[in-house]
């Protein structure tokens, strides 16, 4: 009697330890809990040796979380199959309210055997670095807005009025440096808020400059250049979008990309009744926000703005013609939807959904730079044994 050739291993991964469970491919086979294991490379090697032998095909699965994708890269480098699954797409029983590390690992192993899990794309080290750089820039923008709101709130509480406009330019900052208060504590707090406002722009500029420099050596740089052929999509937005989506050649149809971005309406059907709700808003928030921001440019008439020819001069002439035809079509679609009385926000989302299909088609036609990086963990992280 031959033994099943596939062994599904579920991991509940945390920073220093992970729960392990395994199950063979036989229907009705019992899921076996293997206890806990460390997360260092030597612990992974020991875990692989602890698994039942005579299983030539090993499939490991764990949830995507704050620990990142280094475990998937390590296991893939060793020749094993490793899935990173989306936590929001893991089936759960409504009445099951007990959650432990052991139960989560057993559930992942069982669902992996039944084929009910949906894997997410694991970015390469270079793609993950560009994604982190773009997110760090977005966090700097949010921190700058938060610092300005705090300073404005403090002025409002203390009835400090400005006769000019709050442009945050040199004149406005000089006026802020001269503001006092009735007590010694209030000027200290006020100047601390002012220093926070003045420190974030320099941080934002450094991150934006690094983003523009790193994209020149990125393997997806041709896709970034092609993406900038659309009006409303400059280098920063293009890099953020491409880094969030990754290599789109893995997607078979643009509808899959729209669904992954959460740009499709939710639906609730029962019998003859069919009802559509708001957007699912699933998937990558950064990519969806960048798409919607770029879609607002379709509200203006189709024309070539001043910065656009500079971005188009490096592209082939056929690709420039396709970009112009797509822009004309999107502007016409936006006017038709507005003429039918649709809300502007709904129209922008519809344009963003169609732009995602254009990005998918563009990514399949643009040749990529050959990958030269290794899948091993960077040495900067330090030894884990």
* pLDDT tens-digit readout, 362-372: 777 776 655 54
Q: Identify which of 198, 192, 165 has the alpha carbon closest to the alpha carbon of residue 179.
A: 192
CA distance 5 to 269: 40
Altogether, the residues listed in the chain come to a count of 385
Q: Which position has the token pair 């169609």?
A: 354
Q: What is the pLDDT of residues 68-109, one digit of tens each?
A: 888 999 989 888 899 999 888 889 888 888 889 999 999 999
Burial zone of 239 (CB within 10 Å; 0-12 exposed, 13-18 middle, 19+ buried): buried
Cβ partners under 8 Å of residue 238, min gap 6: 224, 225, 227, 228
Q: What is the pLDDT of residues 322-340, one digit of tens each?
A: 777 777 888 888 889 989 9
pTM of the model: 0.79
First to last CA, the chain: 41
Mean pLDDT of 295-304: 74
The more confidently predicted of residues 160 and 313 is 160
Q: Give helix 285-295 / helix 254-261 axis angle, nearest 10°.
A: 110
Checking if the pLDDT of 375 tops 50, the result is no
Cβ 366 vs Cβ 223: under 8 Å? yes
Checking if the pLDDT of 377 tops 60, the result is no
Q: Which residues of 200-212 are buried (b: 16+ CB within 10 A; e: fewer)?
A: beeebeebbeebe
Structure token digits, residue 369: 């730079």
Checking if the pLDDT of 2 tops 70, the result is no
Q: Give helix 285-295 / helix 125-158 axis angle, nearest 10°.
A: 70
The more confidently predicted of residues 297 and 192 is 192
DSSP, res 29:
P
Q: Which residues of 83-113 are buried (b: 16+ CB within 10 A; e: fewer)?
A: bbbeeeeeeeeeeeeeeebeebbbbbbbbbb
CA distance 297 to 328: 12
Q: Quick one: which H or E segment has residue 105?
A: helix 101-114
CA distance 177 to 187: 9
Cβ 328 vs Cβ 303: under 8 Å? no
Identify the pLDDT of residue 383: 39
Checking if the pLDDT of 147 tops 90, the result is yes
**Dihedral (CA of 361, 340, 266, 132) sign:** positive
Mean pLDDT of 354-375: 70
Q: Identify which of 266, 270, 293 has the alpha carbon closest to the alpha carbon of residue 282.
A: 266
CA distance 146 to 156: 15
DSSP, res 262:
T
pLDDT confidence of 379, banded at 50, 70, 90? very low
Identify the pLDDT of residue 372: 46
DSSP, res 377:
P
Mean pLDDT of 312-322: 68
Cβ 345 vs Cβ 247: under 8 Å? no
Structure token digits, residue 329: 């079509």
Interstrand relation of 17-24 and 265-270 (parallel, antiparallel or unpaired):
unpaired
Identify the pLDDT of residue 310: 62
Q: Over the chain, what is the mean pLDDT?
A: 83
Identify the pLDDT of residue 317: 66
Identify the pLDDT of residue 100: 92
Range in 42-46, 97-101, 169-173, 340-344 with the lowest mean pLDDT: 169-173
Identify the pLDDT of residue 21: 93
Cβ 121 vs Cβ 164: under 8 Å? no
Range in 87-101, 223-237, 245-259, 304-318 with the lowest mean pLDDT: 304-318
Q: What is the pLDDT of residues 3-32, one digit of tens each?
A: 557 889 999 999 889 999 998 887 778 898
């Amino acid at each position: 009697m031959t033994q099943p050739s596939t062994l599904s291993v579920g991991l509940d991964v945390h920073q220093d330890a992970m729960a392990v469970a395994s199950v063979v491919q036989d229907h009705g086979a019992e899921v076996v809990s293997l206890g806990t294991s460390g997360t260092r490379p030597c612990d992974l090697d020991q875990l692989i040796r602890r698994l039942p032998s005579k299983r030539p095909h090993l499939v490991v699965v764990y949830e995507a979380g704050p620990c990142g994708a280094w475990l998937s890269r390590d296991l893939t480098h060793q020749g094993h199959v490793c899935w990173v699954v989306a936590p929001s797409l893991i089936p759960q029983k409504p009445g099951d309210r007990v959650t432990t590390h052991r139960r989560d690992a057993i559930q992942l192993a069982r669902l992996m055997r039944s084929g009910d899990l949906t894997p997410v794309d694991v970015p390469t080290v270079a793609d993950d670095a560009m994604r982190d750089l773009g997110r760090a820039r977005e966090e700097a923008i949010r921190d700058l807005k938060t610092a300005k709101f705090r300073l404005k709130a403090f002025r409002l509480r203390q009835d400090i009025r400005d006769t000019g406009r709050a442009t945050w330019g040199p004149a406005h900052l000089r006026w802020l440096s001269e503001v006092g208060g009735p007590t010694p504590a209030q000027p200290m707090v006020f100047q601390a808020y002012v220093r926070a406002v003045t420190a974030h722009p320099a941080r934002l500029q450094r991150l934006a400059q690094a983003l523009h420099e790193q994209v020149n050596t990125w393997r997806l740089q041709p896709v970034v250049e092609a993406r900038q052929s659309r009006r409303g999509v400059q280098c920063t937005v293009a890099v953020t979008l491409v880094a969030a989506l990754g290599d789109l050649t893995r997607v078979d149809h643009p509808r899959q990309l729209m669904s992954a971005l959460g740009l499709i309406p939710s639906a609730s059907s029962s019998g003859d009744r069919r009802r559509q709700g708001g957007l699912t808003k699933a998937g990558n928030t950064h990519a969806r926000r960048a798409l919607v921001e770029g879609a607002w440019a379709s509200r203006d008439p189709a024309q070539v703005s001043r910065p656009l020819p500079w971005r188009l001069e490096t592209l082939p002439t056929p690709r420039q013609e396709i970009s112009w035809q797509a822009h004309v079509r999107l502007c016409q679609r936006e006017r038709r939807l507005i003429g039918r009385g649709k809300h502007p926000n709904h129209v922008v989302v519809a344009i963003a959904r169609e732009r995602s299909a254009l990005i998918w088609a563009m990514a399949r036609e643009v040749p990529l730079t050959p990958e030269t990086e290794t899948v091993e963990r960077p040495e900067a992280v330090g030894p884990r044994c």
